[in-house]
Amino acid sequence: QAPSSTPALVIGSGYGAAVAALRLGQAGVRTLVLEMGRLWDTPAQDNKIFCSTAAPDQRSMWFRTRTEAPLATFLWLDVVNKDISPYPGVLDRVNYGDMSVYVGRGVGGGSLVNGGMAVTPRRDYFAEVLPQVDAAEMYATYFPRAGAMLGVNSIDPAWFESTEWYKFARTSRKAAQNAGLKTVFVPNVYDFGYMQREAAGTATRSALAGEVIYGNNHGKRSVDKTYLAAALGTGNVTIETLHHARAIRRQPDGTYVVTADRTDLTGRVVETREIGCGRLFLGAGSLGTTELLLRARETGALPALDAAVGTAWGTNGNIMTARANHMWDTVGANEATMPALGIDDWDNAANPVFAEIAPLPMGFEHWVSLYLAITKNPQRGTFSYDPATDSARLNWTKAQNQPSVDATKRLFDRINLRNATIYRYDLFGNGTPFADDFCYHPLGGCPLGRATDGYGRVKGYPGLYVTDGALIPGSIGVNPFVTITALAERNLERIVAQDLAA
């Protein structure tokens, strides 16, 4: 049982939250972390912690009766999704009208379910998105610090060229190169040495057994194994799971009180707790942190919160698309689940796109090249508070995603033209080759320098901080977790030195 008051409280346990927990713990600050999901460390009856992607069970998704996988169909058949029983599973899909957002649930947040791609953004684009942040300092100090802590590593190029497990990526690379496009290797937090042992048959398969979006049983350096393990190691940090933070208020003495529902594995609220804290760090992710602050502002609990809370939200320009290769351009029956290559056309000022070459591991040859395109979409969403449901509603229309679809189409039309290939229409359940109704990279909602100061200190409320992807205003041009982590490192260093010393 956690104390009813703590010097520092962190909400959530993804990247930003984990950095806060570690750096506070190291500074000698007693810190409590509240996570709405469960701790994923105990094997179930099948001796596995996480279920497989091919045969998902209750562990797969957050309180669902049927899975909602990103790729809904294959050859228009509903073969992908399965009935499951409701349970605090590891992947959630938050559905808001025209846009759904995939997020991780559990100790480690998104790091439990993501593709591990650890990409440092282009410096010029970073400076464009976050002009108030000293880019020189970020690239000299905080990106390297984040990369070292996260366990970022690179694939052995010789192995990449020879293994059947990356045939799919080599085939996509060839098609891109035929169109005059550049591809780049992308670092990952999955241990590529472990993966080579999987391929050699000397280690239990995880990335080579289709595991990714419902968790990896091996090989993945998720933040529960890196930052959070180190945070617990300081002896100052405690993590409480199945605690859903609902409300924040401020006491006359300037401390904060968080109301949190403790739930059981059926989702039933077994206790509603009030936890006081001197300092409160919001790391509940773009959606979670924004909802907490929006609710606090709109219900009058924290009325002085800035009007920028609930603004500057974006999808990082995410669009999935797929092409059909020629019969002779096989992708192989065996595909690793961790992407290792991207098509980098961000330099093309007329149509900047960075497209991750994504796996589609079905266990048989299907000739499909799948991609997650990251585009530069200027459209931004906002959130409104809905008192009837006491939740945040995303204002984002299908039309706002059209710039992303158009940019993706321009790039892949070029690839199709040069290779005389066509799109696949059967994968996304919408009759088009473009998945424009979901994203994996929600960013913004509490933009740095607007809802907060330049270090994530919430305007108007000393001792209240945002430390996650909510700070980044909607786009970063590459997969975002390295940026989220590095920015949190920068902000925490300043906050520990200035605010905690005071």
Please identify which of the residues 198, 240, 298, 356 carries the catalytic annotation: 356
Residue 440 sits in the site that holds ligand FDA (CB under 6 A): yes
Q: Which is nearer to ligand FDA, 324 or 465 (CB)?
A: 465
Residue 113's nearest CA partner among 222, 34, 230, 226 is 222
Considering only residues 192 to 221 of the shown chain, the ones binding ligand FDA according to CB under 6 A are: 213
Considering only residues 117 to 156 of the shown chain, the ones binding ligand FDA according to CB under 6 A are: 117
- Phi (first) and psi of residue 100, to 5 degrees: -115, 145
Q: Is 243 assigned a catalytic role?
A: no
Q: Which is nearer to ligand FDA, 34 or 357 (CB)?
A: 34
Residue 60's nearest CA partner among 95, 85, 80, 35 is 85
- Phi (first) and psi of residue 470, to 5 degrees: -65, -20
Residue 295 sits in the site that holds ligand FDA (CB under 6 A): no
Q: How far apart are CB 448 and ligand FDA at their closest, in Å?
A: 13
Residue 116 sits in the site that holds ligand FDA (CB under 6 A): yes
- DSSP calls for 357-378: EE----SS---EEEEEEEE---
Residue 148's nearest CA partner among 196, 108, 187, 192 is 187
Residue 284 sits in the site that holds ligand FDA (CB under 6 A): yes
Using CB under 6 A as the criterion, what x/- string covers residues 309-338 for binding ligand FDA? Answer: ------------------------------
SS3 259: strand
Q: Which is nearer to ligand FDA, 297 or 414 (CB)?
A: 297
Q: Which is nearer to ligand FDA, 18 or 324 (CB)?
A: 18
Q: Which is nearer to ligand FDA, 4 or 162 (CB)?
A: 4
Q: Is 356 assigned a catalytic role?
A: yes
Burial of 65 (0-12, 13-18, 19+ CB in 10 A): exposed
Q: Which residue stretch of 28-36, 133-141, 299-307, 395-403 sits at the interface with ligand FDA (rule: CB under 6 A)?
A: 28-36
Using CB under 6 A as the criterion, what x/- string covers residues 1-20 for binding ligand FDA? Answer: ----------xxxxxxx---
461 touches 437 (CB < 8 A): no
Torsion over CA of 424, 427, 430 and 434, rounded to 10 degrees? -60
Considering only residues 33 to 52 of the shown chain, the ones binding ligand FDA according to CB under 6 A are: 34-37
Residue 280 sits in the site that holds ligand FDA (CB under 6 A): no
Q: 340-371: string of b/e by CB count within 10 Å (b at 16+)? A: bbbbbbbeeeebbbbbbbbbbbbeeebbbbbb
Q: Which amino acid is at 31?
A: T
Residue 104 sits in the site that holds ligand FDA (CB under 6 A): yes
Using CB under 6 A as the criterion, what x/- string covers residues 354-383 for binding ligand FDA? Answer: ------------------------------
Residue 226 sits in the site that holds ligand FDA (CB under 6 A): no
Q: How far apart are CB 81 and ligand FDA at their closest, in Å?
A: 15
Q: How far apart are CB 501 and ligand FDA at their closest, in Å?
A: 25
Q: How far apart are CB 473 and ligand FDA at their closest, in Å?
A: 13
| Residue selected from 24, 84, 280, 484 as contacting ligand FDA according to rule CB under 6 A | 484
| Residue selected from 7, 89, 115, 332 as contacting ligand FDA according to rule CB under 6 A | 115
Q: Which amino acid is at 147?
A: G
E strand residue ranges, 52-170: 91-96, 99-104
Residue 113 sits in the site that holds ligand FDA (CB under 6 A): yes
Residue 489 sits in the site that holds ligand FDA (CB under 6 A): no
Q: Which is nearer to ligand FDA, 479 or 491 (CB)?
A: 479
Burial of 411 (0-12, 13-18, 19+ CB in 10 A): buried
- Phi (first) and psi of residue 397, to 5 degrees: -105, 160
Q: In sequence order, what are the beta bridge partners of 95? A: 100
Place of tokens 């020879």: 162
- Phi (first) and psi of residue 325, to 5 degrees: -85, 165
| Residue selected from 53, 480, 486, 490 as contacting ligand FDA according to rule CB under 6 A | 480
| Residue selected from 105, 170, 250, 459 as contacting ligand FDA according to rule CB under 6 A | 105
Q: How big is the site for ligand FDA, counted in residues (CB under 6 A)?
A: 41
Residue 257 sits in the site that holds ligand FDA (CB under 6 A): no
Residue 90 sits in the site that holds ligand FDA (CB under 6 A): no
Residue partners of 475: CB distance under 8 A and separation at least 6: 129, 314, 316, 317, 376, 377, 443
Residue 398's nearest CA partner among 93, 59, 99, 49 is 99
Residues that bind ligand FDA (CB under 6 A): 11-17, 34-37, 102-106, 109-111, 113-117, 213, 244-245, 283-286, 288, 292, 440-441, 468-469, 479-481, 484
Active site residues: 356, 441
